[in-house]
Homo-oligomer: A and B are copies of this chain.
Amino acid sequence: MNNLTKIKIEKPTSEVFEAFVDPSKIGNFWFSSSSERWEQGKTITLIYEEYNAQLDIHVLKVEKDKEIIFQWGPIDENYIVTITLSELDHTTSIVTVNEEGFKETDNHFVQRLIDDKEGWVFMLTCLKAYLESGVTDLRTGLVKD
Contacts and interface: CB of A to CB of B under 8 A. Distances in A.
Interface of A: 1, 3, 5-9, 94, 110, 113-114, 117-118, 121-122, 125-126, 128-129, 132-133, 135, 137-138, 140-145
Contacts of A126: 125
**Chain A interface, >50% SS class:** mixed
A142 B6 contact: yes
Please provide the 3 A-B residue pairs with the shortest distance between their CB atoms, ordered closest to farther: A6-B143, A125-B125, A121-B121
A145 B114 contact: no
24 contacts: A3-B114, A6-B143, A6-B144, A6-B145, A7-B143, A8-B141, A8-B142, A8-B143, A9-B141, A110-B110, A110-B113, A113-B113, A118-B121, A121-B121, A121-B122, A121-B125, A122-B125, A125-B125, A128-B138, A129-B129, A129-B135, A132-B137, A132-B138, A133-B135
